[in-house]
Amino acid sequence: MRMKEIIVVEGRDDTAKIKQAIDADTIETNGSAINDDILEQIRHAKQKRGVIIFTDPDYPGKRIRHIIDEAVPGCKHAFLTKNEAKQKHKKSLGIEHATLDVIRQALSQVYEIGHEIEPEITKEMLYQYGLIGGKKASSRRDALTKELRIGHANGKQLLKRLQMFHITKEQFDRVMNEIIQEEEDE
């Protein structure tokens, strides 16, 4: 089963561990250097699907939770104890060190099972609109991701983001047609 909400984590290792435990999408804050673009992505994710904040049980993790709570109130929270997040025989602490069962248990307290949604946007559509491999691909991706509020994405990330935020074919077509019209008007 797929998790409805998007999980906010600190980094890549957390994402990898969570994806081993459960079928879910994540947004990475890249540690405590959380910026306005990431906060806007989280705000948008909360509106579309809901958000669960799942950070490490240490000072930086608490700080990230606080920053997000201030900017995007009403997010759900999942927690691990320090013992659950501790790497055996070392002092390292983090979600990436927890067992899969412990992660599932922590998330099971707050998540909803979502139904599988058939993606409306395909990779072929990205090629058709010149979002991958074209001369204007980078600038078109920037304009698209800004307008849809899904965060900057390279060619490889774009399809996943469009699907993660449940962007419909109609929304996608409308925004791409506006972008192309603006290019022609310049």
Local confidence pLDDT in tens for the 186 residues of the chain: 678 899 999 999 999 999 999 999 999 998 878 999 999 999 999 999 999 999 999 999 999 999 999 999 999 999 998 888 887 777 788 999 999 999 998 998 887 666 556 678 999 999 999 999 888 999 999 999 989 888 888 888 899 888 888 888 999 999 999 999 999 888
Q: Which of these, 108, 58, 109, lies nearest to 82 by C-alpha position?
A: 58
By three-state DSSP, how is residue 184 classified?
helix
Domain at 2-114, CATH from 3.30.460.20, 3.40.1360.10, 3.40.50.300, 3.40.309.10: 3.40.1360.10
| Distances 145 to 31, 87, 103, 139, 154 between C-alpha atoms, Å | 22, 37, 31, 10, 10
CB neighbour list of residue 49: distance below 8 Å, 6 or more residues apart: 4, 5, 6, 114, 165, 166
| Domain coordinates in residue numbering, the chain | 2-114, 123-185
The model's pTM is: 0.75
